[in-house]
Structure 1
Amino acid sequence: MVLKIEHLTGGYTGVPVIKDINLEIKPGEALGLIGLNGAGKSTTIKHLLGLLRPQKGTITLNEVNLTAQPTAFKRQVAYIPEMPVLYPELTLKEHLQLTMMSYGLKETEAWPRAQKLLTDFRLADKLDWLPIHFSKGMQQKVMIVAAFLADTALLVIDEPFTGLDPLAVAKLLALIKQAISSGKMVLMTTHVLADAQQAISNYAVLNNGTIEMIGSLTEIRQHYGLKPDDSFDRLYQVLNQEQA
C-alpha cells in the first residue's frame, strides 16, 4: 500500500507547470508540500485528484492507476480544499449523507463517527443548517468532517488552517495524528509550518515546478543555509531569491 507519483509532468494547455515530480508516501506517513505561490502545489494536487491529465508520468495508489481506473482511485482519496465547496441547497446532514453514498459507507457505521466529528468541531446542533448560514470557518469544518468521515487510505489537505479558530486547529491536528497512527497516508500543503510540524515530519520543497529536496524541517534548514533559529519566512525569502 503506497502512493506513488512517478515522473509527473503536467499543467494546462500543454504548457508544463510541474516537471518530473517524484513523490512516494507509505501508510502511516504524512508529507508536507511547501513552496511559494505559483511553485506548482495546486497543479500537483489537481493532478492527484484527477482534475488534470498528466502530460507525462503516472500516479498510483495501492497499485490502482489513476488514469486507468479513476473511480477506484478516487474512492481511496478524501480531499480538504483551501476554499470550501458546498452545495447551497443541501443541509449539513445531506452533505454528510452524500459523502456516505459517494464512498459506499454504511450509515449505521458512519453516523456514530460523524456525530463524534460534529461534536469535536461544534457542529452537532447544526445538521439542518444550509451553507448560507455557516461562516467561512464553519464551512471549512464541514469539509474536514466530511473528509475524515470518508475514512480513506489517502487524505489530501490543501491549506487547511485558513479561517479556523485555535480550537479547531488543535482538533484537526489531532485527527491528522490519529490518521497517521492508524496507517493512513497524508499529503498536506501549507504555509503555516508552525502548526503543520506538530503532525508532519517530512516535507517536499516545490520550486519552479520541480522538487528541490525532501526531508525534515531541520534538513531543509541545512540545505538552504538557514540558521537553526531562523523562521520559515526566511526559507521563502531564499526561494524567492532563487526565482529572481
Structure 2
Amino acid sequence: MTILKVDIKQGGYEAGKSLIHNIAFSISSGSILGMIGSNGAGKSTTIKGMLGLLPFMEGETDIAEGLTYSYIPERQIYYDELTLWEHIDFVGSVEKIPNNIYKKRGEELLKKYRLFDHAHQFPSTFSKGMQQKGMIVLALLTEPQLLIIDEPFIGLDPNATKLMLRSLEEERRRGAGILMCTHVLDTAQRICDEFVVIDQGTMLASGPLEKVLKECGAEGGSLYDCIPDEEREGSE
C-alpha cells in the first residue's frame, strides 16, 4: 500500500531561488526507500519540502489519511533543559500515548540502545553517537507508520550500526515505510527496496536498483557509480 506520494515541482528558502525541482517518488508500507546523492545535492532540502518545512515550494505531498510519522534530522535536536527521559515524557504527552505504554516502550528502547543508565542525564553531555541513539529511541517510541531518517548511521559505532539495521528491519516487518537518506551506499544497496538519486537539486533516477543503475548509465555497477563525479562536473 502506498502511504506517501511526493511531487515537488520546485522549492527553496525564497521565491525565485529554487534549490530543488522535478522530484517525484512514492513510499509503500513495509518498504525502505534510499535517497542518495553527494553533499549539497538537495536531499535534506527535499525532505524539508515533503514535510512542509520549506518557506517556498510548488508541488504536493500526498500522505495517507491518519498516517503517523517520525523524523530524525541530520543534526540531533534536543531541549537543553530536559533529560533524555523527560524527552520521552514529552513525546508521550504530545502524541497522547497512554502512560503505561510509552513508559514501557521507552524503557525497552533505552535498554536496547544501551542508554538506560543515562536516562536521567542531559543529552548535551552525551557523545555524538549517544545523541543519535537517543534520537532513534524518541523516533521509535511512537511506532510510526512512516520513518524518515536523514543520515541514520552518523556517529554510530559498528555495534550501534548493526542495532540500527536490526531496528530498520523490525520496523519494515511491522509494516512501516522508511525513507533513509544516507551516504553509506553499500549498506543502502543491501537493505533498500528502491532508490531516489538526486544531484544538483534534480532527480536523476528512481526505482529498484536495476532500473536506477540503468537510468544512471551504470548497469553492472553499484550505487557509487550513480553519483556524478565532482571533478568531471567541474571540468565541463
User: TM-score surpassing 0.5?
Assistant: yes
Residues 200 and 232 (structure 1), Cα distance of their counterparts in 2 relative to 1, 3 Å cut = closer
Distance 1:80 1:187 in 2: 10
Tell me, what secondary structure is at the counterpart of 1:155?
strand
Asked whether the 8 Å contact 1:176–1:199 carries over to 2, the reply is no
Equivalent of residue 152 in structure 1, options 123, 144, 147 = 144
CA apart distance, 1:237:
4.3
SS of aligned partner of 2:80: coil
Contact 2:213–2:222, Cα closer than 8 Å, also in 1: no
Paired residues of 1:32 and 1:190 also in contact (CA < 8 A) = yes
The SS at the match of 2:164 is: helix
Question: 2:126: which partner in 1?
Answer: 134
Change (3 A) 1:241 1:235: farther
**2: CA distance, partners of 1:123 / 1:44:** 31
For residues 207-233 of structure 1, the C-alpha deviation after alignment (integer angstroms, 9 at most, x for no partner) is 2222221133344334333364x5644
CA pair 146-231 structure 1, distance change in 2 beyond 3 A: same
Uncovered stretches (5+) of structure 2, i.e. residues with no partner: none
Among all aligned residue pairs of Structure 1 and Structure 2, give the percentage whose two residues are the same amino acid.
Answer: 39
Q: Deviations over 1:21-46 (max 9, x none)?
A: 21111111211111122221111111
Q: Which residue of 1 aligns with 2:10?
A: 9
TM-score for both structures, normalised by structure 2: 0.89
| Aligned positions, number | 233
With the length of structure 1 as denominator, give the TM-score of the two structures.
0.87
Point out the more displaced range, 2-11 or 230-239.
230-239
Match of 2:96 in 1: 104
| Distance in structure 2 (CA, Å) of the matches to 1:240 and 1:206 | 17
- 1:27-38 maps to which residues of 2 (within 5 A)? 27-38=29-40
Query: Conserved in 1, the CA contact under 8 Å of 2:34 and 2:194?
Result: yes
CA drift of 1:189 comes to: 0.5
Partners of 1:175 and 1:190 lie apart in 2 by: 16
